[in-house]
């Protein structure tokens, strides 16, 4: 796996799910959609205690003392606080290795390994001790896939920015602060094809921790635990569509398909047109024979303005796998409008053109992919495909 990736977007190939989906039609005066707990019941789900969010960021006493002793030492005071924290991370985590595991701050510091969410959580824990402000940022990056039965996991990426402390503005009152936008990014090795997304709230990042553990619990068939983890994530960040998708998926595993349908339907009615959520719902509608409603969801997907080009690349490849090259073409073109410099978009377009018998367009797209490729391995791959295509 690439070192900058974490798994926290959940997609599903819905197999063997309950037969009835609720129609996608408006209801009169729908309840508050962000109170998602009103659409499913905890009754009958065995209670499994989950980690308190405070403990996600808690460090051991030894870890706290070690950090504060170094951070407050006279020898380090020549560094501004945000640079001092970055230096501590660099000094202590030089051997920090990537893994797919999502750790608490204490675990990440002890094991010196974890995914980029683990690194973000650890950075936040130290920043709290140092009284430094941070921001979490989403990063759109090339997705990685891992499939477990009918569960597909797709990677995403989050990083931390330690902000330069605010300074007093002497030209105004004592209480007026001049806020600097400067800071230091803490991340795994950045990639040339990463695209910075928007900021993520603290609760949103904490919800990602629980959502990653939902995925692991589902893989290991610990459905009751997955339910309480998903409920925690949804409570912390009810406006994050990925948390809705995680809970809907968990409800299906628990045999509560009607409740999952309610979550999907209410999210659509509330205008939460996240492409992952819509894609999951559309798959379910198709599998249950609700083809007209699935087409409605497809239209919502195409009308969506998701600014992550890789979201469209993922959906495009799903359509290619489903032998729907025309729909795949439309999705890759959505990605192209956002990031015309990404070679893998042209590769997807070439595949969709080829499957439609549009050989010349496929050749043009492959040529463009070759021209935009950043590494020799990709260039060689595109060159081989072009050679094969030219023999047709």
**In the predicted structure, residue 6 carries a pLDDT above the cut 50:** no
In the chain, the percentage of residues whose pLDDT exceeds 90 is 45
Lowest mean pLDDT among 23-27, 176-180, 306-310, 323-327: 23-27
- pLDDT at 7 (0 to 100): 32
Q: For residue 238, give both structure tokens.
A: 């009810």
How sure is the predictor about 40, in pLDDT bands with cuts at 50, 70 and 90? very high
How sure is the predictor about 71, in pLDDT bands with cuts at 50, 70 and 90? very high
- pLDDT at 314 (0 to 100): 86
**In the predicted structure, residue 250 carries a pLDDT above the cut 80:** yes
In the chain, the percentage of residues whose pLDDT exceeds 70 is 79
- pLDDT at 14 (0 to 100): 29
Average pLDDT of the residues in 364-374 = 89
- pLDDT at 348 (0 to 100): 94
- pLDDT at 207 (0 to 100): 95
- Name the burial class of residue 278, with classes exposed (0-12), middle (13-18) and buried (19+) by CB atoms within 10 angstroms of its CB: buried
- Return the residue matching tokens 């595991």: 101
**In the predicted structure, residue 333 carries a pLDDT above the cut 50:** yes
Q: For CATH 1.25.40.10, list the domain ranges present in the chain.
A: 308-390
Distance CA 132, CA 39 (A): 39
How sure is the predictor about 289, in pLDDT bands with cuts at 50, 70 and 90? confident
- Return the residue matching tokens 């499939």: 147
- pLDDT at 17 (0 to 100): 29
How sure is the predictor about 142, in pLDDT bands with cuts at 50, 70 and 90? low
**3-state secondary structure at position 197:** strand
This prediction's pTM: 0.78
| Mean pLDDT taken over the chain | 81
**In the predicted structure, residue 334 carries a pLDDT above the cut 80:** yes
Distance CA 243, CA 8 (A): 10
How sure is the predictor about 311, in pLDDT bands with cuts at 50, 70 and 90? confident
- Return the residue matching tokens 């707990």: 37
> Between these two residues, 53 and 8, which has the higher pLDDT value?
53
**In the predicted structure, residue 182 carries a pLDDT above the cut 90:** no
- Name the burial class of residue 202, with classes exposed (0-12), middle (13-18) and buried (19+) by CB atoms within 10 angstroms of its CB: middle
- pLDDT at 73 (0 to 100): 96
**3-state secondary structure at position 262:** helix
Give tens-digit pLDDT for 350-362. Answer: 999 999 999 999 9
- pLDDT at 152 (0 to 100): 60
> Between these two residues, 101 and 73, which has the higher pLDDT value?
73
**In the predicted structure, residue 29 carries a pLDDT above the cut 50:** no
> Between these two residues, 392 and 106, which has the higher pLDDT value?
106
**In the predicted structure, residue 150 carries a pLDDT above the cut 80:** no
- pLDDT at 195 (0 to 100): 52
- pLDDT at 141 (0 to 100): 67
DSSP 76: G
- pLDDT at 378 (0 to 100): 77
Q: How far apart are the first and last CA of the chain?
A: 35
CB 343 within 8 A of CB 369: yes
**In the predicted structure, residue 3 carries a pLDDT above the cut 50:** no
Average pLDDT of the residues in 65-82 = 95
Task: Residues 308-390: name the CATH superfamily.
Answer: Tetratricopeptide repeat domain (1.25.40.10)
Average pLDDT of the residues in 265-273 = 86
- pLDDT at 170 (0 to 100): 52
How sure is the predictor about 226, in pLDDT bands with cuts at 50, 70 and 90? very high
Give tens-digit pLDDT for 157-169. Answer: 788 899 998 765 5
Average pLDDT of the residues in 99-108 = 88
**In the predicted structure, residue 63 carries a pLDDT above the cut 90:** yes
Instruction: Return the top range by mean pLDDT from 16-20, 152-156, 275-279.
Output: 275-279
């Amino acid at each position: 796996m690439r070192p900058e990736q974490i798994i926290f977007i959940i997609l599903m190939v819905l197999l063997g799910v309950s037969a009835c989906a609720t129609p996608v039609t408006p209801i009169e005066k729908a309840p508050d959609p962000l109170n998602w707990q009103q659409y499913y019941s905890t009754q009958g789900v065995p209670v499994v205690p989950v980690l308190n969010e405070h403990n996600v960021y808690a460090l051991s006493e030894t870890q706290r003392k070690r950090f504060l002793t170094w951070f407050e030492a006279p020898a380090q005071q020549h560094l501004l606080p945000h640079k001092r924290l970055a230096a501590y991370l660099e000094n202590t985590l030089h051997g920090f290795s990537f893994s797919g595991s999502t750790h608490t701050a204490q675990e990440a510091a002890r094991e010196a390994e974890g995914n980029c969410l683990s690194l973000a959580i650890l950075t936040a824990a130290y920043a709290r001790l140092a009284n430094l402000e941070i921001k979490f940022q989403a990063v759109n990056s090339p997705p990685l896939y891992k499939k477990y039965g009918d569960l597909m996991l797709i990677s995403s990426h989050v990083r931390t920015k330690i902000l330069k402390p605010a300074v007093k503005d002497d030209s105004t009152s004592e209480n007026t602060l001049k806020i600097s936008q400067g800071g230091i990014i803490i991340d795994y090795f950045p990639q040339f094809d990463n695209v910075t997304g928007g900021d993520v709230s603290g609760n949103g990042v904490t919800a990602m921790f629980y959502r990653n553990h939902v995925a692991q619990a589902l893989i290991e068939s610990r459905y009751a635990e997955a339910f309480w983890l998903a409920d925690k994530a949804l409570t912390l960040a009810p406006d994050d569509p990925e948390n809705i998708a995680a809970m809907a998926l968990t409800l299906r595993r628990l045999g509560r398909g009607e409740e999952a349908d309610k979550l999907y339907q209410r999210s659509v009615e509330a205008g939460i047109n996240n492409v992952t959520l819509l894609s999951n719902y559309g798959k379910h509608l198709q599998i249950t024979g609700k083809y007209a409603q699935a087409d409605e969801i497809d239209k919502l997907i195409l009308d969506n303005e998701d600014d992550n080009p890789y979201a469209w690349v993922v959906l495009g490849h799903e359509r290619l796998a489903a032998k729907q090259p025309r729909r795949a073409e439309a999705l890759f073109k959505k990605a192209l409008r956002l990031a015309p410099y990404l070679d893998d978009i042209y590769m997807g377009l070439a595949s969709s053109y080829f499957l439609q018998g549009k050989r010349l367009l496929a050749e043009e797209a492959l040529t463009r992919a070759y021209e935009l490729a950043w590494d020799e391995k990709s260039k060689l791959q595109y060159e081989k495909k072009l050679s094969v295509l030219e023999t047709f």
